[in-house]
Chain A
Amino acid sequence: MSTVETTGERTVSSTERRPTRLAELFLLILALTGGILAFAMVGRSISGELPDGFWTTSGLLALVSLGAHVVLRLRAPWADQVILPAVVLLNGLGLAMILRLEQADMNGASASSQLMYTCLGAVVAMLIIWFLRDHRWIRRLTYTAMVVGLVLVVLPLVPGIGREINGARIWINIGFSVQPAEFAKIAFAIFFAGYLVANRDTLALAGKKILGLQLPRLRDLGPIIIVWAASLGVLVFERDLGTSLLFFGLFVAMLYLATARFSWIIIGLVLFAAGALVASSVFPHVAARMDVWLHPFDAELYNSGRSYQIVQGTFAMAAGGLFGTGWGEGDPYLVPFAFSDFIYASLGEELGLTGLLVVLLAYVLIVQRGLRTALAVRDGFGKLLAGGLAFVMALQVFTVIGGITRIIPLTGLTLPFMAQGGSSLLANWIVIALLLRVSDIARRPSALPVRGTVAPGGAMHDPIVVGGHERGSTPAAGTPAAGTPVRRSAADAPAGATPSSHPTEIVGRAPHDPDHRSGGEHL
């Protein structure tokens, strides 16, 4: 009897032994300090006192961050602890820079609207975490997501609501400006995950091998050709290389994740390069962008204003040097769109290379946690979704920062969490909510044994359960496909497994030992 009580206690203690998320809280406080200190330093160097709305901004930022922390504790206690603080840091730095540009009377910079969308984004993300208990539920939206994604991509082309800003037609105006591509990337990630998890076998296995590369069959190329055509359509009609690259890159990366076939990456790169080359030779606006990218310091291009922005951005980063001028001491407002497209250059000027590396590392942390989640989660849909979302975040950061530092042509994409813009903030907070949800599921302890370990009941101190072989012959519910790494947090394993095994063996073992032998005989 006493053993039964012990196992009862153990079960209770296992539910209480949730992660305390102290690491997240500590990192969150550091990140908030970084943001709020930045607000104060901006005010100090521009007006000598705390900036207008300092307490509101700091208070609201702290409120939503700590609120998010509490929601995670309640609803996703196993979720990754680094993602949220990294996002809060980036968001805070972006807010501080926008506040700083607003203080310098830069036209268009609005810290209050950015603050509002930060709060909205965080609240929406927390609602998703609160109500979406299992990411697998989203899988039933696979084809809805495809339709939504395609509609969102086409919307800017619809006359009347589509808006062309700075040559790129990727905005719509419905009372306020929305950049639908930001939301389309989430819809496409969901669609690709659902589509690929159902079709990965055909894409991975059929086809012949040429030069060591396993090439897919021609008819299996259908979807990739459609997505390629769609993304080229975006490039040509919406005149935005970034959005086009984002969708196509997302698809190729997820194809690779799903099939582990390197040939997809080569096919993808070749297709995109060929498409971009043709587009740049046929369409003048694409060629003009290439020109600005390759020869920004050309006097004619600079004087006509076409390469003015990128050149000024380069000068701003050069002015920042290694340690930056300090908050509020540089002149980032000289660069057009310093608060949105070129916020990275603005931060480079005031925080220097040292600060920019922190920003980059914060993105790397988020992406790494996302990919780690994809490795750890057990279901194929979750793997593809987390991997795809993490990759799209990485690709977007690469496209923006690559554009500013002239590695690739400049695009109209926004730097997640930093650039001013409601759509971008809201969409990226939704991405974070989905990543946190998947990582909670991935790290949640499960009763299934880890590959490469001894099953509960077979471990050193847990004597083998009577009839364990019979139980072993029926796979446990939710058994993953062969080859899927199974993970659980080992701490909770005995608690999950022992309540069923211990009472049986303790109560039944000693007196019925002969029965065990006869039990073995019917084998």
Chain B
Amino acid sequence: MSELTFTLLRLGYLVLLWVFVLTAIAVLRRDLAPRGAPRASRAERRREQEAPAVAAPAAAPSKPKRGAPTRLVVTAGPLSGTTLPLSSASILIGRAPGCTLVLDDDFSSSRHARIFPQGDQWFVEDLGSTNGTFMGDTKVSGPIPLAPGVGVQIGRSVVELQG
């Protein structure tokens, strides 16, 4: 074998080793994407395909009276922008995995507060949280009525009802 062929083989081998390493790093890049992002989008797409069948009948009956809030929006904090549709069930907010809205917020308690409907009104209630729940400057202790558009401070997050 000529000298040239050998040199090419020798360098080609090193290239092969680097192809391995770079491919492995490319595989790892999936990890560097925002947590669970590629998978979540796939899940979302799947959910959207089934959404017409599932969500349509569910959405219809929960058509509210005019002026009543239809969703709960996180307006500040790590989850800012998250929206939950309101139904007639109460919403538990906190860090515990069992909550309806699981906050990624070190200043909130595991079961921090609850927002629930009664009659035509929505109420907010603190569940004995460490750092308290605030409506404006006032601390929420017992259940108090919650009007749409009024921010409720839970840890570093603020949630409000919107029409």
On chain A, the number of residues with a Cβ less than 8 Å from chain B's Cβ atoms is 85
Interchain CB contact under 8 A, A27 and B23: yes
A208 at the binding interface (Cβ < 8 Å): no
CA distance A326 to B7 in the complex (A): 8
Interchain CB contact under 8 A, A452 and B116: no
CA distance A466 to B61 in the complex (A): 14
Instruction: Knowing A85-B20, A494-B43, say if A461 contacts B97 (CB, 8 Å).
Output: no
Interchain CB contact under 8 A, B116 and A491: no
Interchain CB contact under 8 A, A455 and B89: no
A159 at the binding interface (Cβ < 8 Å): no
B24 at the binding interface (Cβ < 8 Å): yes
* Distance between A27 CB and nearest chain B CB, rounded to angstroms: 6
Instruction: Knowing A461-B48, A502-B54, A505-B58, say if A454 contacts B40 (CB, 8 Å).
Output: no
- Provide the residues of chain A in CB contact with B42, threshold 8 Å: 491
CA distance A100 to B76 in the complex (A): 64
Instruction: Knowing A469-B114, A491-B43, say if A506 contacts B88 (CB, 8 Å).
Output: no
Interface centre among B16, B42, B54, B91 (most CB of A within 10 A): B54
CA distance A453 to B93 in the complex (A): 11
Instruction: Knowing A86-B24, A451-B102, A482-B95, say if A506 contacts B57 (CB, 8 Å).
Output: yes
Category for how many chain B residues contact A: 35 or more
B100 at the binding interface (Cβ < 8 Å): yes
Interface flags, B25-41, vs A, CB<8A=1, else 0 = 10110010001100110
Interchain CB contact under 8 A, A454 and B84: yes
Interchain CB contact under 8 A, B97 and A476: yes
Interchain CB contact under 8 A, B92 and A469: yes
Identify which of B103-111, B131-139, B146-154 touches chain A. B103-111
Interchain CB contact under 8 A, B78 and A358: no
- Provide the residues of chain B in CB contact with A453, threshold 8 Å: 102, 104
CA distance A519 to B59 in the complex (A): 19
- Provide the residues of chain A in CB contact with B17, threshold 8 Å: 34, 89, 351, 354-355, 358
CA distance A89 to B57 in the complex (A): 55
Q: Which of these, B39, B60, B98, contacts A474 with CB under 8 Å?
A: B98
* Distance between B103 CB and nearest chain A CB, rounded to angstroms: 7
Interchain CB contact under 8 A, A455 and B102: yes
Q: Which of these, A329, A455, A519, contacts B97 with CB under 8 Å?
A: A455
CA distance A475 to B47 in the complex (A): 26
Interchain CB contact under 8 A, B13 and A327: yes
Q: Which of these, B57, B79, B85, contacts A460 with CB under 8 Å?
A: B85
Instruction: Knowing A467-B89, A469-B116, say if A489 contacts B24 (CB, 8 Å).
Output: no
A167 at the binding interface (Cβ < 8 Å): no
Interchain CB contact under 8 A, A34 and B55: no
Which chain B residue has the least Cβ–Cβ distance from A481?
A: B110
* Distance between A461 CB and nearest chain B CB, rounded to angstroms: 5
Interchain CB contact under 8 A, B85 and A464: yes
Interchain CB contact under 8 A, A89 and B101: no
Instruction: Knowing A452-B78, A491-B43, A517-B88, say if A468 contacts B95 (CB, 8 Å).
Output: no
A365 at the binding interface (Cβ < 8 Å): yes
Interchain CB contact under 8 A, B10 and A472: no
B129 at the binding interface (Cβ < 8 Å): no
* Distance between B153 CB and nearest chain A CB, rounded to angstroms: 18
- Provide the residues of chain A in CB contact with B51, threshold 8 Å: 461
Instruction: Knowing A30-B19, A354-B14, A486-B97, say if A473 contacts B88 (CB, 8 Å).
Output: no
* Distance between A66 CB and nearest chain B CB, rounded to angstroms: 16
* Distance between B16 CB and nearest chain A CB, rounded to angstroms: 6
* Distance between A196 CB and nearest chain B CB, rounded to angstroms: 23
- Provide the residues of chain B in CB contact with A26, threshold 8 Å: 23
Interchain CB contact under 8 A, A521 and B118: yes
CA distance A355 to B16 in the complex (A): 10
CA distance A213 to B90 in the complex (A): 45
Instruction: Knowing A479-B97, A506-B58, say if A461 contacts B47 (CB, 8 Å).
Output: yes
- Provide the residues of chain B in CB contact with A509, threshold 8 Å: 57-58, 61
- Provide the residues of chain A in CB contact with B68, threshold 8 Å: none
Interchain CB contact under 8 A, A355 and B101: no
A47 at the binding interface (Cβ < 8 Å): no
Interchain CB contact under 8 A, A461 and B21: no
CA distance A34 to B54 in the complex (A): 51
* Distance between A360 CB and nearest chain B CB, rounded to angstroms: 10
Q: Which of these, A31, A37, A451, A469, contacts B95 with CB under 8 Å?
A: A451
- Provide the residues of chain A in CB contact with B144, threshold 8 Å: none
Interchain CB contact under 8 A, A33 and B16: yes
- Provide the residues of chain A in CB contact with B95, threshold 8 Å: 451, 482
Q: 20 A-B pairs, CB-CB below 8 angstroms?
A: A27-B24, A37-B16, A326-B10, A351-B13, A358-B21, A368-B28, A450-B35, A451-B95, A452-B78, A452-B104, A454-B84, A455-B100, A458-B84, A461-B55, A463-B59, A469-B91, A469-B116, A489-B36, A494-B46, A517-B88
Please name 14 further chain A to chain B contacts, defined as beta carbons within 8 Å, in addition to the given A41-B13, A475-B98, sorted by A numbering: A34-B17, A34-B20, A86-B24, A89-B20, A326-B6, A358-B14, A372-B31, A450-B35, A458-B84, A469-B91, A473-B98, A487-B36, A520-B89, A520-B90
- The 4 A-B residue pairs with the shortest CB-CB distance, nearest first, are A452-B104, A516-B88, A326-B10, A458-B100
